[in-house]
Structure 1
Amino acid sequence: MSHETTPPAADPRRETLVVFALSLAAMVVSMMQTLPVPILGLIRADLGTSAANVSWVTTATLLSAAVFTPLLGRFGDQHGKKPTLVAVLGVMVAGSVVAALATSLPLLILGRVLQGAATAIFPLALSVLREEVRPQKLPGAMSLVSGTLAFGSGLALVATGLLTSGSDADYRSAFWMATGFAAIALLAVVFLVPATRHKTGGRTDFLGALTLGATLLLLLLPISQGHEWGWTSGRTLGSFAAAAVMTVVWVFTELKVREPLVDMRMFVHRPVLMANLAGILVGFGMFANFLGVSYLVQMPEALTGYGFGASILRASVEFLLPGAIVSLLASPIGGRLVRHRGPRTALTLAAAFGAVGFGWLALDHGHTASVIGAGVIVGAAVSFGYAAMPAVIMASVPHHQSGIANGINSISRSTGSAVGSAVVTTILASQTIEHLPAGVPALPAESGFTLTFWIGAAAFALVAVIARLGLRTGQAPRTERVSAPAAETAEASEKETAAA
């Protein structure tokens, strides 16, 4: 089967509207991941639940994304990207309304599960761009849509801080805000994104989706809950062991199915594999920055000897917002880098900026200017990294697998974020200040933050290794017609990689 990848006749205004609509949709879905982070305490108090139970408000979204993103990414490739986008956005609107109206924790978690399914928007959006944007504009368009992910995650923290800054704050206002953004994104996609032109058809590999979903659930559940369960507890170790077994089952299933959800040759193809490893590390760095800085600046200096005693509002607006804005501004720069120098250069710069930013935080987190400046550098690093990864994937897989390939990469970033959250939480909980006044809850020692930031620097240093050793020079998004099967395409690209 031949798959036409050439976009329609050039219409700059039409392209701009499509990119705007998809960027808005990607920004909104990224907001859903970090939205409840600043208000977990309010939710726990309002619903009268425990800290362990309320953590499911964030975990449920992550697990839902892990299950639905690959399935919906492939479904969009097969049956139409715009209808799938519209349906997913409709589910996100419904989930936001459920979360805003919830009067119990189970209902709130249901709403968060529905919101998490919308993570499939990102790979679907990149597949639409590949159809609708001219080749010379494609890297910039993908980078802009990718850059909105980091911006949206930061914006959610800031907006939630603003909405819940009063003494009588109601956490539900944050979910009503999410409902409004989701509805606007839905309308933008309905009216600005053209109908799907390419459909591969075929059967949906539900068995592959089921085994992949089970694998990811068993992997991400102990990562996100390990701090509460205990890292050496039977539940944690048992879940990791079960994840390993299910990985084998999933691979065996995909090798036997006639039309697999994930082509194993594509999955282990070196550029795709390297992009996914980079996604884990960049996602880790983004969350380590968000959580590390947010917790750091809220520490009461009078009791701990460090920190700024900032409120949630000040932490969001003064310390996190600058980095979020820079991440958005850096995305078109990342697109130009990808277009003119290739994603390898963009990923190398992301690694350099990230290592420098986290190193700066580790060495000096006692001055406002240092914390803000380092956060800005890390924000640019995340944006460059997110700009490079879709370009690597688009250059390495045939058109009809772009949705599932970017879906897997989206999961890798979510996995990295989950690991980042778990690592930061565990480090700060394990290194606490001794001899605090009676009645004062345990507070993290400054050494915990220093260690967190050094680990973030190390993560970005590993991104540099991936960029230099795992990717070939000059790789740019593929724009020609693709008629070879995925296996032949991967094999030919491997020969190109070996020759580079």
Structure 2
Amino acid sequence: MSRTSPAARPAGSRRDETVVIVALSLATMVVSMMQTLVVPILGLMQDDLDATAAEVSWVTTATLLSAAVFTPLLGRFGDQHGKKPTLVGMLLVMVAGSLLAATAHSLAWLIVGRVLQGAATAIFPLALSVLRDEIRPARLPGAMALVSGTLAFGTGLAMVSVGLLTQGDDPDYRTAFWLATGLAVAALLAVVVLVPSGRHAPGGRTDVLGALTLAATLVLLLLPITQGNEWGWTSGRTLGSFAGAVVFAAVWVQVERKVREPLVDMRMFVHPPVLFANITGLLVGFGMFALFIGVSSLAQMPSDLLGYGFDASVLRASVQFLLPSTVVSLLSAPLGGQLVHRWGPRPVLVLAGVIGAAGFGWMALDHRHAASVIGAGLLVGAAVSLGYASLPAVVVGSVPLHQTGIANGINSIARSTGSAIGSAVVTTVLASKSAANLPAGAPELPAESRFTLSFLLAAAAFALAAVVAGAGLRRIGMASTVRAAAPAPAPVPADKPAAAGTAG
């Protein structure tokens, strides 16, 4: 059963492309909100559930681990068995997880709800696969950029919305999950009604062993990254988990090289454009969470005690200092799509790295004035959006049609891993040195130099992203985005030279 390609459809049917893009953007935005939804309310959860800070940290860790396990598996499942049915299924899981979290009165059930929310992270790579099927090549870069741009927008919007919802004398963290439930239902209805069923799925067997070994690798990698501060970075659990990740990664590679229908084609995984896109995604994800964690913490520092900071509440920190960069990230997404279509993704990724490095460099030099912190945040927000707009174009233009879901799933995990590393690094750096000369009885607060170092590390991550994109993506340009809707040739084996079909 075949379908007419997007480019060959009648002009009247092309108006439907807009509603498809809107529906998928909404679904992606809701998914991205799940990552930062709980950040402003961890303290409320700890008090309400009578838990320790270490126990409550699993509310964020569980979501990240669930995303790592299910995103590549469900991305591949969607490629094989139908993208829209898989999308609808994942949205139903998100609704169930959000509803469970909103009604849970124990930490255990709350964590189960967060696991279900994390599993729905697979919606993003599936959305990009649907775009590749349904959108004309001329419009595809802009569509992917807009859907990708909602990732950065959603993460910031979640913090602002939760800050607003939990104001007052008797705040209830469950209102955040009721918000998530409502948005998830809206996204589900939009996808069911507005997204076409898509082309006939090719089918195929599921690589269960490959999925399990990849899941073990990602869990053993991300678990110590998220729990390292609690466990100790040199503890046996931390070092043992990292060692286990290396072992399972080697096992996973061997499994994928031998099975007939692997979860991840190793030739695709090490294909230079895909590999460098994943590295770049990790670095951009690092920078995005360095902005959220670093600026939010800086804004809440008491200036009368430290000589720096802005005495902001959680709400003011979100609205005044983070919301502007969030809005700019959304506004920059369509521009990123236009630039990708005109220049190709490589120059846009380099530009994103340069702008992000400049923003964090400015923040490191001057973070005592609100205007500087906000202005620098605008640059970083634009950089994240441009980076996220470019990465799908690299991936989609570099893999065959039937590998779109899994390739974007791996790239999504790379970004999530970068975000986890960014959060862990900034948290560790801020805790590594306390301010001197604090009054007796005052809580330990970070020395100003720790914020400077955090922002410099984030600047270095963006600068490295620019270098990786510039040096590693030399063969990605306009050709890859223009023909992105057609099946791309399979990546060449590592022992053969790359074809010049995507020169830019």
Give the match for residue 297 of structure 1: 299
Q: Does the Cα contact within 8 Å between 1:7 and 1:130 map onto a contact in 2? A: no
Q: Deviations over 1:202-251 (max 9, x none)?
A: 10111111000000000000000001100000000000000000000000
- Deviation (angstroms), 1:166: 1.4
TM-superposed deviation, 1:71? 0.4
State the match for 1:239 in structure 2: 241
User: Structure 1's 192 and 287: CA in aligned 2 closer, same or farther, altered over 3 A?
Assistant: same
Aligned with residue 496 of structure 1, among 473, 493, 500: 500
- Deviation at residue 165 of structure 1 after TM alignment: 1.8
For 1:385-425, what per-residue CA distance to the aligned partner results, in whole angstroms no more than 9, with x for missing partners?
00110000011000000000000000000000000000011
Show CA shifts across 1:450-487 (max 9, x none): 00000010000001111210012524323364385x35
- Partner SS, residue 496 of structure 1: coil
Aligned residues: 499
Q: Does 1:449 align with 2:439?
A: no
Where do 1:273-312 residues align within 5 Å?
A: 273-312=275-314
Per-residue CA deviation, residues 411-446 of structure 1 (Å, 9 max, x unaligned), is 000000000000011001111113422322211111
Q: 1:373-452 counterparts in 2 under 5 A? A: 373-452=375-454
Partner SS state of residue 139, structure 2:
helix
**Superposed counterparts of 1:86-101, under 5 Å:** 86-101=88-103
Superposition deviation, residue 345 in structure 1:
1.1
For 1:461-500, list aligned pairs within 5 A. Answer: 461-472=463-474, 474-475=477-478, 476-477=480-481, 478-479=483-484, 481-482=486-487, 486-488=490-492, 494-496=498-500
Structure 2: distance between partners of 1:372 and 1:457: 16
Taking the aligned partners of 1:343 and 1:458, their CA distance within structure 2 comes to 21
CA contact (8 A) 2:398 2:488 kept: no
Tell me, yes or no, if the aligned pair for 1:396 and 1:490 is still in contact at 8 Å. no
CA contact (8 A) 2:137 2:485 kept: no
Structure 1 position 493, deviation (Å): 8.2
Task: State whether structure 2 residue 126 is matched by structure 1 residue 118.
Answer: no
Residue 5 of structure 1 and its aligned partner are, at CA, apart by 5.7
1:50 to 49, 52, 58: 52
CA distance in structure 1 between the aligned counterparts of 2:148 and 2:206, rounded to whole angstroms: 27
Question: 2:72: which partner in 1?
Answer: 70
Mark the CA change 1:474 to 1:192 in structure 2 (over 3 Å): closer, same or farther.
same
Q: Structure 2 length normalisation: TM-score? A: 0.96
Preserved contact between residue 3 and residue 482 of structure 1 (Cα < 8 Å):
no
Corresponding residue of 2:338: 336
Residue of structure 1 in register with 2:180 after alignment: 178
| 1:116-157 alpha-carbon deviations (Å, 9 max, x no partner) | 001000000000000100110000000000000000000001
TM-score (norm 1): 0.97
**Residues 431 and 308 from structure 1, CA distance in 2 versus in 1: closer, same or farther, beyond 3 angstroms?**
same
Residue from 217, 226, 229 that aligns with 1:227:
229
User: Are positions 1:317 and 2:328 aligned together?
Assistant: no
Q: 1:487 to 1:499 in 2, by over 3 A?
A: closer
Q: 2:140 aligns with which of 134, 138, 141?
A: 138
Distance 2:117 2:272 in 1: 32
Which deviates the most, 7-16 or 249-258?
7-16
What secondary structure is seen at the aligned counterpart in 2 of 1:165? coil
After TM superposition, give the deviation of residue 183 of structure 1 in Å. 0.6
Aligned equivalent of 2:105:
103
* Deviation per residue, 1:141-197 (Å, 9 max, x gap): 000000000000000010011111212111110110011111100000000000021
Cα distance in 1 for partners of 2:421, 2:4 equals 39
Q: Does the 8 Å CA contact 2:492/2:498 hold for their aligned counterparts?
A: no
Structure 1 residues 260 and 164: alpha-carbon distance in aligned structure 2, compared to 1, 3 A threshold: same
**What SS does structure 2 have at the residue aligned with 1:438?**
coil
Pick aligned residue for 2:348 from 346, 364, 370: 346
Alignment deviations for residues 479-499 of structure 1 (CA, whole Å, 9 cap, x no partner): 364385x35598888232898
- Supply the distance in 2 between the matched residues of 1:61 and 1:474 (Cα, whole angstroms): 35
1:216 to 191, 215, 218: 218
CA pair 60-4 structure 1, distance change in 2 beyond 3 A: farther
Residues 440, 15 of structure 1: CA spacing in aligned structure 2 closer, same or farther, 3 A cutoff? same
* TM-superposed deviation, 1:199: 1.2
* Secondary structure at the counterpart of residue 396 of structure 1: coil
CA pair 480-129 structure 1, distance change in 2 beyond 3 A: closer
Q: After alignment, is 412-421 or 434-443 more displaced?
A: 434-443
Letter aligned with residue 247 of structure 1: A
Most deviating of 468-477 and 490-499: 490-499
In the superposition, relative to structure 1, how do residues 20 and 8 fare at CA in structure 2: closer, same or farther (>3 Å)? farther
Q: Quote how far apart the aligned CAs of 1:282 are.
A: 0.3
Q: Could you list the per-position Cα deviations for residues 300-320 of structure 1 after superposition, in whole angstroms to 9, with x for gaps in the alignment?
A: 111111100000111111111
For 2:418, give the aligned amino acid.
G
CA distance in 1, matches of 2:4, 2:73: 23
The CA distance in 2 between the partners of 1:369 and 1:213, in whole Å, is 43
**Which of 6, 17, 20 is the aligned partner of 2:19?**
17
Contact 1:397 1:490 in 2 (8 A): no
Task: For 1:179 and 1:480, locate their aligned partners in 2 and report how far apart those are by CA, in whole Å.
Answer: 33
**Residue pair 1:18, 1:192 contacting (<8 A) in 2 also:** yes
User: Unaligned 5+ residue runs, structure 2?
Assistant: none
**Using a 3 Å threshold, how does the CA distance of structure 1 residues 87 and 490 change in structure 2: closer, same or farther?**
farther
AA partner of residue 251 (structure 1): V
Measure the CA separation in 2 of the matches of 1:451 and 1:38. 23
**Aligned residue identity for 1:213:** A
**Partner letter of residue 499 of structure 2?**
K
Q: Are 2:46 and 1:41 equivalent residues in the alignment?
A: no
